[in-house]
Amino acid sequence: MMALRILVVAALRRDRWQIAIWTAGVFVAALVSAVSTATTYSSHSERVSALRLVIDNPAFLISRGMPQGPEPGAFLFFQMGMVFAVMFAVFGVLFAVRHGRAEEDAGATELLRAAATSHVSGLAANLVAGAVAQVVLAVGLFGGFVLGGAQAAGSAWAGLALALIGISFGAIGVLCGQMLSTGRAAIAAGFGIVALSYTVRAIADAVSAVDPVTLQAAPHLIAWFSPLSLTEVMNPFGQVHVGALAALLIVTAAVVAVTFRVEGTRQFGASLIPQRPGRAHGTASLRTPLRLALRLQRGTRLLMLATGLAVGAFAAALALLGSDAAQDDPAIAATIRTTVGEDGPIYDLLLGYTMLFVAEAAAIAGVLAILRARREEISGNTETVRGTPVSPGRWMTSQITVAGLSALIVIATSWVGAAIVYLSWGASWSEVISSVLMAVLAQLPAAGVYIGLACLLFALLPRHAPATIWTLVLIGVFFAEFGGRANLPAWLVTTTPFAHTPLVTLPDANLASLLWMSAIALAFTAAAIIRYPRRDLTP
């Protein structure tokens, strides 16, 4: 127990700043969400009207969640509950992999195993520290909700539900690290499970039956197969569903039990899915740093290809569902115009607005490529490459090229995914090639700003680059996707480049922002290429 306590304290101390930043972000987001929701929908009739619009449009149910009535707390959780659930899940995966597979990759776990600690002490410390961190985040959520005027009891139940979600996905992150041989692959698999759970949740909410009188949804059977859906079924601000809470506890306990079972039989450093050995000698195609970087990141590019197809199809489906609903109900059309913040044909508004998902996916793809370059430095592989006649600037340019290609792959495959959906809906090829392609390509400059910023941070602050980059990307995604829903100040929302992407399908679209965002991205990239050769090659 003494060893466990020491390891837990060490893990929490190591991530104290990240936990503090995430907690502060959750607190501020919860506070702003509670205040803005109470201000915008201050009366019971306003909340009823908003929910009546939502239940007639599957696109709103997919993007927001399952309504549980017009009461203030239930309406707040309907608006923002799924956003916080995803945040807790993502944090759980990142924390678990960082203190699990990533430490094995870096050799830190081997040093701990050399001390007087059992083979499961590190696993137990990882899970306990992750649970403590999730409780801290839940306290931040509770404080933000209560200070924003939400009911204290409901806020406490919401914090408990979200903490359990985070703990369960933390255990899933540990299990992914046991199955896969690298931390990067474990994070990708963990995020994939989060995305799968979100997809199942979206389907369950879209087909759920909503009582037109009480405006409460009866959960579909599918909802019980997604941990994220269980937070909605639990209904923290209403009559708490004890069965959903028990299901969350069972899922968490089951995954934790599996991780201990695997850890007891797994050889240290090994993975359930063995890493395929590479060639003993490199081929002629790997003689340049660019070809080598392309070869090393081919798995990531395949993942981005599949992600682009899924994101493009999802965005197109939301746009088409929203357009169809707006044709039958003028109130829905007015809500869409208010959400987008522009006036014009609903089809064009939604086509451009939903493609923000593509920009976010492209930015993440480019950032992943840059962070892979950082991993190559830490592992010492970059030092080996730099020992050949390869200049630092050439090596850095190769990494930036791969990052740009990753973003372009997402852009291209997103168009393919959106085109498939639009063509199946009856759109013409000319429409798909013109308006849909324009809407997708318009997302590239905003993604380029984040990629250029990631390159610059990698060149200036290599040690702090990963945490800083992900923090900026997550803040940008939150402001772009939920700033309008949470009624955040306009000046705050416009701090993210995603908010400056124009709706290019509108007749009077202002394309100036695309030019200056492209210029900023190029400036960041040029500064990174100039700065990188002047810093030490240090881990």
Which residues fall within 8 angstroms of residue 515, CB to CB, at 6 or more apart? none
Q: Which pLDDT belongs to residue 281? A: 66
What's the chain's average pLDDT?
82
Q: Which residue has the tokens 């941990």?
A: 227
Statement: residue 63 has pLDDT above 90? no
Pairwise CA distance, residues 499 & 63, whole Å: 18
Which residues fall within 8 angstroms of residue 241, CB to CB, at 6 or more apart? 233, 234, 235
Statement: residue 220 has pLDDT above 70? yes
pLDDT tens-digit map of 396-415: 899 899 999 999 999 999 98
Q: Which pLDDT belongs to residue 279? A: 65
Confidence band, pLDDT 50/70/90 cuts, at residue 335: low
Statement: residue 539 has pLDDT above 60? no
Q: Higher model confidence: residue 184 or residue 248?
A: 248
- Mean pLDDT value across residues 510-531: 92
Statement: residue 192 has pLDDT above 70? yes
Q: Which pLDDT belongs to residue 529? A: 92
Question: What percentage of residues in the chain have a pLDDT greater than 90?
Answer: 18
CA 251 to chain centre: 22
Q: Which pLDDT belongs to residue 121? A: 78
Structure tokens at 85: 């659930």
Q: 210: helix, coil or strand?
A: strand
Q: Which residue has the tokens 């979600």?
A: 165
Which residues fall within 8 angstroms of residue 290, CB to CB, at 6 or more apart? 397, 398, 401, 402
Q: Which pLDDT belongs to residue 163? A: 93
Q: Which pLDDT belongs to residue 164? A: 92
- Mean pLDDT value across residues 205-230: 82
Q: Which pLDDT belongs to residue 271? A: 73
Statement: residue 276 has pLDDT above 80? no
pLDDT tens-digit map of 461-484: 888 888 788 888 888 888 887 776
- Mean pLDDT value across residues 282-291: 71
Confidence band, pLDDT 50/70/90 cuts, at residue 527: very high
Closest CA to 480 of 310, 307, 357, 337: 357
What single letter denotes the amino acid at residue 189? Answer: A
In the chain, domain spans:
1-269, 291-539
Pairwise CA distance, residues 106 & 108, whole Å: 6
pLDDT tens-digit map of 160-181: 999 999 999 999 998 988 888 7
* DSSP states of 28-69: HHHHHHHHHHHHHT-SHHHHHHHHHHHHT-HHHHHHH---B-
Q: Which pLDDT belongs to residue 278? A: 64
* Poorest-pLDDT segment among 204-218, 334-348, 362-376, 487-501: 334-348
* Poorest-pLDDT segment among 74-83, 502-511, 528-537: 502-511
The CA-atom distances, in angstroms, between 377 and each of 180, 408, 443, 458, 468 are 21, 25, 30, 11, 17
Statement: residue 430 has pLDDT above 80? no
* DSSP states of 448-476: HHHHHHHHHHHHH-TTTHHHHHHHHHHHH
pLDDT tens-digit map of 4-27: 777 888 888 888 888 898 898 889
Element (H, E) at 209: strand 209-210
pLDDT tens-digit map of 450-463: 999 999 999 988 88
Structure tokens at 278: 């590479």
Structure tokens at 407: 């973003």
Q: Which pLDDT belongs to residue 418? A: 86
Structure tokens at 249: 């506890």
Element (H, E) at 218: strand 217-218
Statement: residue 528 has pLDDT above 60? yes
Confidence band, pLDDT 50/70/90 cuts, at residue 285: low
**How many residues make up the chain in this entry?**
539
Q: Which pLDDT belongs to residue 262? A: 85
Statement: residue 116 has pLDDT above 60? no
Out of 180-184, 427-431, 437-441, the most confident range is: 437-441
pLDDT tens-digit map of 320-329: 777 766 666 6
DSSP state of 507: T
Confidence band, pLDDT 50/70/90 cuts, at residue 139: very high
Three-state SS annotation for 319-365: HHHHHHHHHHCHHHHHHHHHHHCCCCCHHHHHHHHHCHHHHHHHHHH
**Count of beta carbons in the 10 Å neighbourhood of residue 115:** 10
